Structure 1
Amino acid sequence: MILVTGGTGFVGAHLLYQLTINEEKIRAVYRTESSLEKVRNVFSYYTKSTKGTFAKIEWVQADITSVPDMIPVFEGVTRVYHCAALVSFDPKAYIDMRKVNIHGTAIIVNLAIDAKVDKLCFVSSIAAVGDSLHGEVVTEENEWNKNSKNHGYAISKYGAEMEVWRASQEGIDVIVVNPGVILGPGFWDTGSGKMFSQVYNGFKFYTEGVTGFVGVKDVIRAMQQLMDGPHKNERYILVSENKSFKEIFFSIADALHVKKPSIKVKPWQTAIFWRLDKMRSFLTRTAPLITKHSARSAHEETKYSSEKLKKDTAFEFETIEEVIKETSSFFP
């Protein structure tokens, strides 16, 4: 039995579809009935028999931060894909992120140890990889810097990784993947999907910050390959290409056949805007549109290497141009 946490999230939904192809027994955790509709939507991109494919999954309603909820979930489980996470740049969400990302992962690890599962794959993030030194390309060897200006999400994912490595010390084979910004169809109102929606709706602004990008299908393929292979107790950066946000926005605009963003935003402008938005957020008691950390990341230039994955598995990534074109073909 394969267990997938975060099955109603972006990565989890795409992973579940691929797992159903192999006719394996699958159990997935969900929180609310409404979240299941997003999974059905993702399945509809790949198959006309959405109902039949969806029925191959044993869905269990549970909260990963609740031990009583999660104990029965692990019955008969031999492999775990831990995809569940809370993602936010909002400082107000830090406590909740620690609860879900660190405490929730600790519970998953403890129950995996008790159940003596064979292998656990954890979906982390490049946010939890060490900083670039002197502008060099970041690899898995870069050490986490506790003194750097890490944001709450990065801290919580690093803390979650520490829990996963604890599992490796308790006899569980583990794989940690650190994807870059993941692009793919579905979830158009959150995460990277929101970039497609914004560009389609005439978003005018862009920055020239650089980071790593990867297609969701490549993330899933790498996870499955690493779980099915002999690899264990290793972490892998998953990045197809390092691109600027300008390049990504322009490529999305071309693929959607809409006007490209035309206004370059400079660092001093985002510095002003996040401060103004912080005041607006406080007065209206709504989530910020931009934070200090998201403003800074929009201008940073950090490049990542996936050479370790390519060397260990002969893995080949789709180009980001191909990913954007395919993703855009599903845009509603």
Structure 2
Amino acid sequence: MIFVTGGSGLIGSFLISALVARGQAVRALYRRQVPTFPAASQVEWVEGDILDALVIRQALEGVEHVFHCAGLVSYAPQDEAALQQINVEGTANIVDACLDRKGIRLCHVSSVAALGGNAAAEQEPGKMQVLTEEAKWDLGAAHPAYATSKYLGELEVWRGVAEGLSAVIVNPSVVLGAADWDRSSTRLFRYAHNEHAFYTPGNINFVDVRDVVEAMVHLAFQPAIAGQRFILNAGAVPLHDFLAQAAACFGKKAPRIAVPDWAAELIWRTEHARSLLTGARPLITKDTARAGRKPVVYQSQKVQNTTGLRFRPLAETIEWCCQELKTNSAASGAVVVY
């Protein structure tokens, strides 16, 4: 029996589908309603929350492998407490429950955000950072709340490893896949589809969700691979190039106006003031406005050497995502709006 958290998310849903296709027995956690993707009907669903330690312990009865995919991705100041609860305390609950049942193996989904950065390189404008799994978290530097929560979540897993837990960690970059237009990285495709004129200069590191799942399954079922983390990243491209390719796939116009740094700084400050006055969530935050400005590439040679995995090129991933999104929209009769 395999237990999966975050089964309604992008990675979790594709992972469950892959496990079911392999003939694995899958039990998964859900909060509000049972997901409806095709393989979901073959899953034993457990209603609950990763913050409920008792529910997690009960859900691990008879389980041999745990894939912890649940997590909150947010850069809104209002979500700082929720990030701490879900990404840190929730992970601690998973680790503690695994430790209570000897023999369980954990695959934890972290993020490249948990790697921090090279402080020396950041002080040199325009210098490309190349980060590997050996990157050290700079405790004295300022980090987005999301990145901090993923780093602290990883520390919970390392605590479990120190206490005897067999675990492996994956650190994906921006995961691309066909999912809900309003969730996760799929919003990038929605942005391209709706022909927005503006884009921010900078790079985006990307990886196909199918490659993420393949790597997770390979690593999780190799017990000799334990106490390690693996970057999952297919490469980095300018954000404009990504949006232009996605727009072309939809038959739409690509963004054409670069937002200068000073304008981005003005916009996030204006949005912050608006959110304080109205209580509404900011459309752009300081962290999202500055994302991609510091050129960085996440090196994924380790996972390729370990698994033999070769990542799909961006053009193939974009073509697949766009076709899936168009098919899904046509089937549901949905009209994509922003």
TM superposition score category, shorter chain reference: over 0.9
In the alignment, is residue 162 of structure 1 matched against residue 155 of structure 2?
A: yes
Instruction: Return the match for 1:300 from 294, 297, 313.
Output: 294
Query: Bigger shift: 82-91 or 293-302?
Result: 293-302
Aligned to 1:46: none
Alignment check: 8 A CA contact 1:211 1:304 kept: no
Aligned to 1:21: 21
Aligned to 1:126: 112
Aligned to 1:84: 70
5+ long unaligned stretches in structure 2: 122-127, 330-338
In the alignment, is residue 237 of structure 1 matched against residue 231 of structure 2?
A: yes
d(CA) in 2 for partners of 1:247, 1:180? 17
d(CA) in 2 for partners of 1:184, 1:315? 18
3-state DSSP class of the match of 2:107?
strand
d(CA) in 2 for partners of 1:290, 1:148? 22
Aligned to 1:222: 215
d(CA) in 1 for partners of 2:21, 2:41? 12
State the 1:130 CA deviation.
Answer: 2.9
Q: Which amino acid aligns with 2:143?
A: N
In the alignment, is residue 265 of structure 1 matched against residue 268 of structure 2?
A: no
3-state DSSP class of the match of 1:55?
helix
Aligned to 2:125: none
State the 1:252 CA deviation.
Answer: 0.6
3-state DSSP class of the match of 1:293?
helix
Aligned to 2:7: 7
Instruction: Return the match for 1:190 from 183, 193, 196.
Output: 183
Q: Which amino acid aligns with 1:165?
A: W
Aligned to 1:208: 201
Aligned to 2:285: 291
Aligned to 2:51: 65
3-state DSSP class of the match of 2:297?
coil
State the 1:199 CA deviation.
Answer: 1.4
3-state DSSP class of the match of 2:108?
strand
d(CA) in 1 for partners of 2:150, 2:95? 14
In the alignment, is residue 256 of structure 1 matched against residue 256 of structure 2?
A: no
Quote the RMSD (CA, aligned, Å).
Answer: 1.2
d(CA) in 1 for partners of 2:51, 2:78? 19
Instruction: Return the match for 2:87 from 97, 101, 108.
Output: 101
3-state DSSP class of the match of 1:177?
strand
3-state DSSP class of the match of 1:71?
helix
Q: Deviations over 1:53-80 (max 9, x none)?
A: 3221000001110122222111111110
d(CA) in 2 for partners of 1:110, 1:315? 31
Q: Which amino acid aligns with 2:199?
A: Y
State the 1:6 CA deviation.
Answer: 0.8
Alignment check: 8 A CA contact 2:129 2:295 kept: no
Q: Which amino acid aligns with 1:137?
A: V
State the 1:131 CA deviation.
Answer: 0.4
Alignment check: 8 A CA contact 2:247 2:253 kept: yes
Q: Which amino acid aligns with 1:192?
A: S
State the 1:280 CA deviation.
Answer: 1.4
5+ long unaligned stretches in structure 1: 44-49
State the 1:136 CA deviation.
Answer: 3.2
d(CA) in 1 for partners of 2:29, 2:254? 39
Alignment check: 8 A CA contact 2:195 2:247 kept: no
State the 1:201 CA deviation.
Answer: 1.3
Aligned to 1:47: none
Q: Deviations over 1:203-238 (max 9, x none)?
A: 111122113110100000000011122311110100
3-state DSSP class of the match of 1:142?
coil
TM-score by length of 1: 0.93
State the 1:266 CA deviation.
Answer: 1.2
Alignment check: 8 A CA contact 1:77 1:117 kept: no
d(CA) in 2 for partners of 1:97, 1:162? 15
3-state DSSP class of the match of 2:129?
coil
TM-score by length of 2: 0.91
